[in-house]
Amino acid sequence: MAQSHPQLHLVKHPLVDHLLTEARDTQTPPDRFAQLVGLISVILACEATRDLRLKPHRVQTPLTDFDGKQLAAPPTIVPILRAGLGIAHDMFQLIPGARMGHIGVYRDEKSLKPVNYYENLPTDAAAGPVFVVDPMLATGGSATAAVDLLLARQCTDIKLICLVAAPEGVDALNAKHPAVPVYAAALDRNLDSRGFIVPGLGDAGDRQFGTGA
Ligand code: PRP
């Protein structure tokens, strides 16, 4: 856990360092960028799901009974549209019984304030852990708006997974929602005057989907 950011869990792993460096590279094309987002997300998800509760589950192996385990409550993965979709896709395959909820928030390019435009969550999302996913935590406005919405839907066990975080975003989320841990592959230097993370990886939505300039 980073000392000056009490709720930040930086996931240190050689594969994360290698894959994230490739994602930062402007030479990386959209199809590979999207693949990298998914691969890094699986490693982050392994850390973020470490404390999921289990219940007993007996199965029959080809030889005998086996007293095994299964997840006690179905987790909900909530991508913030649209850049969060790449993380959500691979996490959905990793976590058995997971459901997917969607929250649409975009950042107004001038004010940098979040604008909510879509919500579709499982009706019982509050019954289990919720993982909000978005590659970038910049000003923190979008993540804070997503957590606001989930709390209003009675969700209490909420974690955020992102690829790169700016200190400003971590602090902003922590100030409003100190109980929400952040799992990230990197804590970058700062935000520039346009609210872009530096060094960052550019606009993760545009780079995954081949849109933008
Ligand atoms: C990006 C990103 C986050 C948000 C981060 O989304 O995916 O959702 O900005 O910025 P913040 O922490 O300052 O709120 P964007 O608005 O570009 O929308 P998109 O995912 O549809 O591309």
pLDDT tens digits along 118-143: 999 999 999 999 999 999 999 999 99
Nearest to 91 by CA among 35, 20, 39: 39
Span 169-174, average pLDDT: 97
pTM recorded for the entire structure? 0.95
Residue nearest atom 2 of ligand 1, based on CA coordinates: 136
Protein residue whose Cα sits closest to atom 3 of ligand 1: 136
Asked whether residue 99 is assigned to any structural domain, the reply reads: yes
Residue 2 lies in a domain: no
Residue 3: predicted pLDDT: 57
Q: Domain holding 114: CATH number? A: 3.40.50.2020
Answer whether 165's CB lies under 8 Å from 188's CB.
yes
2 has pLDDT over 60: no
> How many domains does the structure of the chain reveal?
1
- Average the pLDDT over 45-72 and give the result: 97
Looking at the predicted structure, is the pLDDT value of residue 1 above 70?
no
Q: Which of 41, 106, 149, 162 best tests ligand 1's pocket when mutated (most atoms within 8 Å of CB)?
A: 106
Q: Give the mean pLDDT of 158-171.
A: 98
Q: Say whether pLDDT at 106 is over 90.
A: no
Angstrom distance (rounded) from CA 153 to CA 42: 27
H or E element in which residue 208 lies:
helix 204-209
The parent domain of residue 102 ranges over 8-52+72-209
In-domain check, residue 60: no
Select from 105, 133, 142 the residue to mutate for testing ligand 1; criterion: most ligand atoms less than 8 Å from CB: 142
Question: Does the residue 58 lie in any domain?
Answer: no
| Ligand 1 lining (C-beta closer than 6 Å) | 80-83, 106-107, 112, 114, 134-143, 169, 195, 203-205
